[in-house]
Amino acid sequence: MGERRRYASSTDVARLAGVSQSAVSRTYTEGRSVSPQTRAKVLAAAGQLGYRPSLIPRIMLTHRSYLVAIVVGGMYNPFYAAVLEQFAVKLPEIGFQPLLVHVDSGDSLDDALPRLASYRVDAVVSALAIRSARSAGQLAQLAIPVIAFNTSFRNAWVSSVSADNERAGRVIADLFFNRGGSRFGFIAGARSSTASEARLKGYRAGLRSLGILDVEVARADFRYEDGAAAAAELYRDGVGPDAIFCANDLIALGAMDTLRHRLGRRVPDDVLVAGFDDIPAASWVAYELTTFVQDSIGMVAEAVALLLAATASALPFGGRRVVLPSRLVERDSTTRSPAAHLEAPTRDAGQPA
Amino acid sequence: MGERRRYASSTDVARLAGVSQSAVSRTYTEGRSVSPQTRAKVLAAAGQLGYRPSLIPRIMLTHRSYLVAIVVGGMYNPFYAAVLEQFAVKLPEIGFQPLLVHVDSGDSLDDALPRLASYRVDAVVSALAIRSARSAGQLAQLAIPVIAFNTSFRNAWVSSVSADNERAGRVIADLFFNRGGSRFGFIAGARSSTASEARLKGYRAGLRSLGILDVEVARADFRYEDGAAAAAELYRDGVGPDAIFCANDLIALGAMDTLRHRLGRRVPDDVLVAGFDDIPAASWVAYELTTFVQDSIGMVAEAVALLLAATASALPFGGRRVVLPSRLVERDSTTRSPAAHLEAPTRDAGQPA
DNA sequence: TTGTAGGCGTTATCAA
DNA sequence: TTGATAACGCCTACAA
């Protein structure tokens, strides 16, 4: 039991081909000298045995595994699914093989770390923020370069890539104001999320510079259902904001549906709504949500660049911080028609999606 | 360059602790004898060096890597994201480390296989169907057990886990008929998808046994935009089906939005719509889509069970087929209110837009 | 309880 | 061009 049918080894091939093991090795090493005859014999035997050279011994010899851990969680959010897919495509292109690690929250990276170290990963990329200083400390001790998304924490081995969350908050404050918003709300993600907090911070700052000090804040998790519940909460006492910035798109979509279908509010005519991420559903005809494009492709590209730099030398490589601008996409959820209050709720008929 | 700071080895620890390398090994091996003093010395040195035993040499010794490749693609579909996440959670629980492989279509597994073989994976689980006989042949030659979702192809090394797609098609035919449907449509996914074809086959069979031979079929890919376009296509000449079964939820949501917002059709009052997968958006208030729960948790559990069985022995283990029932969830998209045709277009509270 | 020795599958080095 | 040999880090005998 547990006794797997072994993969063919170069020795097996050598024996079958009637050559030395080194001859087999050379056949599979670019730029080493093998005679055509030997090569042919080797390839024939290899084909017969289904031989592929193993990378495992090489890891021992070179101290490089070309394995990179990808840390994910909360894949219900299409943004993370997109990030993961992008990593899965890009890492192999530069010769790395992704190893998947799922954690429930940023903190439980602690549990996964020893396992990763056992596989001798060359680096760790995390779609999730690293929140626990303990994780960070462990990482530093293991001397594994880490690139994490939307993380404020950094040290000699931990770098970060993030969107310009704070600026986005400011931009949306201006937009809401220009579109006639007067009572402002925010639905936050988990309190521990730096990204959510930064968005709120920028939003507050933007409103303050417009002379507005009051922001109604509801707490949610990053899901549709939480957004729906938080929206209901904001209007509990009858009144409520006429402009709501949500920490991400899922929250915003939940809030929109609650506003429209449970609270009888029109979006955008009664309430302006905006989100963050630009997940596919944000552009669906039923929503047409104004949001910020969190550029997963760009973020992954930056992360990959950092990773290459980090794995190129033995020196600590961390503390870097890359901030990518997030682009506003204005859609119907903040675009009031001139005579909105006179019309039926559906003003946008056209536009297929 | 490329010279990574090495992970500490047991030899490093032994040297620092002033003991032999085997003493270190024993310290980390359950049930081997080490004196408390030696153990203490070893652990102290190990802590200082950040030592974690490497699994790499063990792979060579035992011919077991405990690595399992997870093949994914099309992560824009929340169903696949959920499957992947589930694998990422379950595999480590039984001692396997997932290795992520992204392919664009079932066929390009070919390209990824040699790389996987090089890492000496113990098995492959594929969220995607294996479509290329060549892939399957390669797999058989490499003698790697494979468990693939929704695949009709099987051989000595390839097993499959799938939903009962055909039965679902029959069930929905009955449902549509009972809800008053009279002109039936189907929006298919990619033609190469066995799952989509099976759903259509069952749908056709169900309708046939109700005396209905005519089904209008539109082709789409598995995305929202494709569903939207395919729906428009079905109504190109003015008339069109009054009941549409879609190969998956994304297609159904796109079709619903096109029906409601571009074609001025009411769902469910003018057209009944159903999908497949039960992705989160299917239960969003704006849609309330009738669909089938494709039980990702159950499917992964079955896949994991097959994997355990397959990796337990050296014998070929394939050709197994597990079919899981998919459960119908009826929501508003097929539930007509009694006087639907007398009411305003929006019978499900406010209208989305 | 300890340490020494051999071997896993590669690649790099060296001698033939 | 070839083949023998050492080395990587660990585990499992085996001997002390």
Please determine, for residue A348, whether its predicted confidence score (pLDDT) is greater than 60.
no
Higher pLDDT, A129 or A163: A163
Higher pLDDT, B344 or B217: B217
Nucleotide nearest to B9 (CA to C1'): D9
Same domain, A153 and A219: no
How close does chain A come to B210, measured CA to CA in Å?
35
Spatial CA neighbour of A161 closest among A318, A292, A274: A318
Of the listed ranges A178-182, A338-342, B24-28, B291-295, the least confidently predicted one is A338-342
B312 contacts in chain A (CB < 8 Å) = 1-2
Higher pLDDT, B238 or A300: A300
Mean pLDDT of A335-350: 48
Would the CB atoms of A89 and B99 count as touching at under 8 Å?
no
CA of A14 vs C1' of C13, distance in Å?
Answer: 20
Provide the residue range defining the domain that includes A93: 62-163+295-325
Would the CB atoms of A114 and B224 count as touching at under 8 Å?
no
The answer to whether strand D lies under 7 Å from the CB of residue B6 is yes
Contact B123, B159 (CB under 8 A): no
Mean pLDDT of B313-327: 88
For residue A4, tell me if it sits in a domain.
Answer: no
For residue A1, tell me if it sits in a domain.
Answer: no
pLDDT confidence of B4, banded at 50, 70, 90? low
First to last CA, chain A: 54
pLDDT of residue A109: 80
Nucleotide nearest to A57 (CA to C1'): C10
How close does chain A come to B202, measured CA to CA in Å?
30
Q: Which of B4, B89, B285 sits opposite A122 (nearest CB)?
A: B4
Same domain, B181 and B227: yes
Q: Which residue is nearest to nucleotide C10 (CA to C1')?
A: A57
Please determine, for residue B108, whether its predicted confidence score (pLDDT) is greater than 80.
no
Please determine, for residue A62, whether its predicted confidence score (pLDDT) is greater than 50.
yes
Mean pLDDT of B124-142: 79
For residue B348, tell me if it sits in a domain.
Answer: no
Spell out the alpha helix ranges (H) of A209-295. 224-234, 249-257
Same domain, A173 and A268: yes
Same domain, A214 and A335: yes
Mean pLDDT of B80-92: 96
For residue B352, tell me if it sits in a domain.
Answer: no
The CA distance from A259 to B286, in Å, is 11
Spell out the alpha helix ranges (H) of chain A. 10-17, 21-27, 36-49, 56-62, 78-93, 109-118, 133-142, 165-178, 194-208, 224-234, 249-257, 296-312
The CA distance from B155 to B146, in Å, is 10
Per the structure, the count of domains in chain A is 3
Higher pLDDT, A107 or A347: A107
CATH code, domain with A14: 1.10.260.40
Please determine, for residue B168, whether its predicted confidence score (pLDDT) is greater than 50.
yes
Same domain, B224 and B321: no
The answer to whether strand D lies under 7 Å from the CB of residue B61 is yes
Mean pLDDT of B167-181: 97
The answer to whether strand D lies under 7 Å from the CB of residue A23 is yes
The answer to whether strand D lies under 7 Å from the CB of residue A61 is yes
Query: Three-class SS of residue B67?
Result: strand
Structure confidence by residue, pLDDT tens digits, A255-311: 999 999 999 999 999 999 999 999 999 999 999 999 999 999 999 999 999 999 999
For residue B1, tell me if it sits in a domain.
Answer: no
CATH code, domain with B231: 3.40.50.2300
Same domain, A138 and A225: no
Half-sphere exposure of B163 (CA within 13 A, CB side): 29
Helix (H) or strand (E) holding B80: helix B78-93
Q: What is the DSSP letter of A4?
A: P
DSSP per position, B115-172: HHHHTT-SEEEESSPP--HHHHHHHHHHT--EEEET----BTTEEEEEE-HHHHHHHH
Residue with tokens 């500490």: B8
The answer to whether strand C lies under 7 Å from the CB of residue B22 is yes
Beta strand segments in B194-242, E: 215-219
Of the listed ranges A35-49, A80-94, A132-146, the least confidently predicted one is A132-146
The answer to whether strand D lies under 7 Å from the CB of residue B320 is no
pLDDT of residue A253: 98
pLDDT of residue A3: 54
Q: Name the amino acid, one letter, at A26.
A: R
For residue A129, tell me if it sits in a domain.
Answer: yes
Higher pLDDT, A345 or A223: A223
Same domain, B337 and B211: yes
pLDDT of residue A4: 58
For residue A214, tell me if it sits in a domain.
Answer: yes
pLDDT confidence of A86, banded at 50, 70, 90? very high
Same domain, A319 and A334: no
Q: Which of B57, B82, B285 sits opposite A75 (nearest CB)?
A: B82
Please determine, for residue A135, whether its predicted confidence score (pLDDT) is greater than 80.
no
Same domain, A334 and A192: yes
Would the CB atoms of B257 and A92 count as touching at under 8 Å?
no
Q: Which of B56, B118, B284 sits opposite A224 (nearest CB)?
A: B284
Please determine, for residue A350, whether its predicted confidence score (pLDDT) is greater than 50.
no
Please determine, for residue B342, whether its predicted confidence score (pLDDT) is greater than 50.
no
Q: For all residues of chain B together, what is the average pLDDT? A: 90
The CA distance from B109 to B103, in Å, is 6
The answer to whether strand D lies under 7 Å from the CB of residue A45 is no
Same domain, B137 and B243: no
Structure confidence by residue, pLDDT tens digits, B10-65: 999 999 999 999 999 999 998 898 999 999 999 999 999 999 999 999 999 999 99
B235 contacts in chain A (CB < 8 Å) = none
Same domain, A169 and A251: yes
Please determine, for residue B2, whether its predicted confidence score (pLDDT) is greater than 80.
no
Interface of A with B in 88-147 (CB under 8 A): 88-89, 92, 97-102, 114-115, 117-120, 122, 141-143
Structure confidence by residue, pLDDT tens digits, A7-17: 999 999 999 99
pLDDT of residue A104: 84
Same domain, A214 and A336: yes
Q: What is the pTM of this model?
A: 0.92
Please determine, for residue A342, whether its predicted confidence score (pLDDT) is greater than 80.
no
- Cα A311 to Cα A61, A64, A96, A223: the distances in Å are 17, 9, 11, 35
Mean pLDDT of B111-135: 86
Structure confidence by residue, pLDDT tens digits, B249-306: 999 999 999 999 999 999 999 999 999 999 999 999 999 999 999 999 999 999 999 9
